Structure 1
Amino acid sequence: MRLVASDMDGTIIDREGRISDRTVRAFHACREAGVEVVFVTGRPPRWLVPLQEQLDFDGTVICSNGAVMYRLADHKVQEAFLMPQESVFQAVGIIQKLYPDAAFAAETIKGFHVEPGFVDKATTDQIGVTPGKLSDTLVAEAEAGAHEAEQAGSAEPDPDAGVAKLLAKVPGISPDDFLAVVADAVGHLVSVTHSSPGQALLEMALPEVNKAATLERFATRLGIGAKDVVAFGDMPNDIQMLGWAGHGYAMASGHPGAIAAANWTAPAFASDGVAQVLEARLAALNETAPA
């Protein structure tokens, strides 16, 4: 075990944003033992506060299901794989024809864009976002970025232009059914997954972008192969990562698809499953270490 890669929500973080003391101790023990740690999440960079406040973590986080590699130490984007606006608008149009009541949102490097109906007014007020059509707000953001580059005298295209994650949700359908239909319809434009067990909320990214692909890039730069990676996850957006890692652990409390994809199962989230596995693996490392 040279690298531990963990999902966040439903794997180490509860619905109130808390990480158990036992899990905190287990990750600290990994780092003290010289094991690299990276978190791999569907969350955007702005939602990483629990890692800093509870784990005192300032390393790399793979965000937005692999679309963004972010360094907490200086709050900088290290690398991003962004969808062009044309693909986003095409995907939105296709999904709207299938589900006329679908609502959309988009994460970019610069902000969060929501269409009317995606979340309630109290939420938009809380996060400080004014709802608008993506075809308007995304274009306005891109034009502003191009203007800033021109003012700075740069001839290079804006590296932050594009969409890290497109979100779509509809009422009255199961997440898995929604995923199956939409993935078939827009798979030529975007990759599609979901990580929300309670609502039909899909997450889309650039084709071939997923947690596993970016984790592999990160591990390769450290000189670490898949066989030395221990990964944890619980939802469909973790499937590729759990399959790629030499020791992929799905949470026993997780989605059936994640459990089927993994070669190991960790105890349930409520039982501090990640901490249990890490404690056992660290103990095994200590037993085999030279005296």
Structure 2
Amino acid sequence: MTTTSSTPDRQHAGGGPGRADRLRIIATDLDGTLLRSDGTVSPRTQAALAAAERAGLCIVFVTGRPPRWMESVSSHIGGHGVAICSNGGAMYDVRRRRLLESYPLRPADALAVVERLRDRLPGTEFAFEYPTGFSHEPDYPALMWDADATHRIAPAEELLAAPEVHSIFKILAWHPALDPDAFLLRAREAAGELAEFTRSSPIALLEISATGVSKASTLARWCQERGATAEQVVAFGDMPNDLPMLAWAGTAYAVANAHPEVLAATGRHTEGNDADGVALVLEQLLRDGWTAEG
């Protein structure tokens, strides 16, 4: 593992948040980054998040998880109560369990993505996230939290034609045999002009959003509404879906267990998610006086 200093004395891509641009926002991915492998927030990380909030820093979770998977981290959400979900496809008030905003794919693009992948990558199965629910094809696997839920199940084309399945802000595409990175590359080649393709799972599961929608785009909008600039943001991540956010933030860290592409693209590394890597950086930031008061 390569570990750089957790002191933000220089920026991801050269220079850190200076005193004139005081640190304001901590933006962190959840699974594989903030959360331990068992899905929990460790006591040390809980303490670090609370200390950062007391110092006036704003913590925002920026995750590939859909809104319906956020209840387990609701007690750690911070004062604002908002999470950026589905790789930027949705903004969700976790405490009120209310979708605040979503950025859907155009229906024609969603259908075209399905048709392209089905034609060029046979065996691909699809699922869809939208404001009123979740639907999937018959052979799409039950994954973790979905196993006991009730969903509409039908072929993708039928689901996309149903009136209740509208405003899709995330398509999931699963393949039973392809290497995950190869699946992502080939899917982008097949339909990359129609949507944004990324991945965050260890299996061949792609996450597809509307063109221009990413963790970075929605985080930037959320920060702008609060008068915060990219230089005032420290971001943490581990998988390809985090790359836009890590590139946008003024200071960016990859955890030690991150995907090789993320480690290569990110100048600062911290310990892995099971070793409280995010907490280590937050503790150092606070020791060095990087509070919202600057």
Q: TM-score by structure 2 length? A: 0.86
Whole-Å Cα distance in 1 between the matches of residues 144 and 264 of structure 2? 38
**Comparing 37-46 and 74-83, the one that deviates more:** 74-83
Match of 1:204 in 2: 208
Secondary structure at the aligned position of 1:127 is classed as coil
Is contact 1:51-1:57 (8 Å) kept?
no
Whole-Å Cα distance in 2 between the matches of residues 57 and 46 of structure 1? 20
**Alpha-carbon offset, residue 77 of structure 1:** 2.0
Q: 2:158 aligns with which of 133, 136, 151?
A: 136
Higher relative contact order (CA 8 A, sep 6+): 2
Match of 2:255 in 1: 251
Deviation per CA, 1:89-128: give whole Å up to 9, x if none.
Answer: 1111110111221111011111001101111599866111
Is contact 1:52-1:58 (8 Å) kept?
no
Deviation per CA, 1:199-247: give whole Å up to 9, x if none.
Answer: 1100000001000111111111111111110100000000010011111
Q: From the superposition, tell whether residues 136 and 287 of structure 1 become closer, same or farther in structure 2 (CA, over 3 Å).
A: closer
Q: From the superposition, tell whether residues 119 and 35 of structure 1 become closer, same or farther in structure 2 (CA, over 3 Å).
A: same
Whole-Å Cα distance in 1 between the matches of residues 211 and 96 of structure 2? 29
Is contact 2:128-2:172 (8 Å) kept?
yes
Structure 2 stretches lacking a partner, 5+ long: 1-22
Whole-Å Cα distance in 2 between the matches of residues 123 and 101 of structure 1? 23
Match of 1:79 in 2: 101
Secondary structure at the aligned position of 2:289 is classed as helix
Match of 2:130 in 1: 108
Match of 1:233 in 2: 237
Matches within 5 A, 1:1-291: 1-53=23-75, 59-120=81-142, 126-142=148-164, 161-197=166-202, 199-285=203-289
**Alpha-carbon offset, residue 250 of structure 1:** 0.8
Q: Which amino acid aligns with 2:86?
A: S
Secondary structure at the aligned position of 2:151 is classed as coil
**Alpha-carbon offset, residue 87 of structure 1:** 0.9
Match of 2:18 in 1: none
Q: From the superposition, tell whether residues 253 and 74 of structure 1 become closer, same or farther in structure 2 (CA, over 3 Å).
A: same
Q: From the superposition, tell whether residues 102 and 285 of structure 1 become closer, same or farther in structure 2 (CA, over 3 Å).
A: same
**Alpha-carbon offset, residue 59 of structure 1:** 1.4
**Comparing 237-246 and 253-262, the one that deviates more:** 253-262
Q: Which amino acid aligns with 1:18?
A: T
**Comparing 123-132 and 67-76, the one that deviates more:** 123-132
**Alpha-carbon offset, residue 258 of structure 1:** 1.3
Is contact 2:194-2:211 (8 Å) kept?
yes
Is contact 1:243-1:263 (8 Å) kept?
no
Whole-Å Cα distance in 2 between the matches of residues 122 and 10 of structure 1? 15
Whole-Å Cα distance in 1 between the matches of residues 71 and 125 of structure 2? 27
**Alpha-carbon offset, residue 185 of structure 1:** 1.2
Secondary structure at the aligned position of 1:113 is classed as strand
Say what the alpha-carbon RMSD is for the aligned residues. Answer: 2.2
Q: Which amino acid aligns with 2:179?
A: S
**Comparing 232-241 and 84-93, the one that deviates more:** 84-93
Q: Which amino acid aligns with 2:289?
A: L
Q: From the superposition, tell whether residues 138 and 34 of structure 1 become closer, same or farther in structure 2 (CA, over 3 Å).
A: same
Q: From the superposition, tell whether residues 124 and 271 of structure 1 become closer, same or farther in structure 2 (CA, over 3 Å).
A: closer
**Alpha-carbon offset, residue 15 of structure 1:** 3.9
**Alpha-carbon offset, residue 6 of structure 1:** 0.5
Q: From the superposition, tell whether residues 275 and 72 of structure 1 become closer, same or farther in structure 2 (CA, over 3 Å).
A: same
**Comparing 232-241 and 119-128, the one that deviates more:** 119-128
**Alpha-carbon offset, residue 135 of structure 1:** 2.1
Q: Which amino acid aligns with 1:207?
A: T
Q: TM-score by structure 1 length? A: 0.87
**Alpha-carbon offset, residue 49 of structure 1:** 1.4
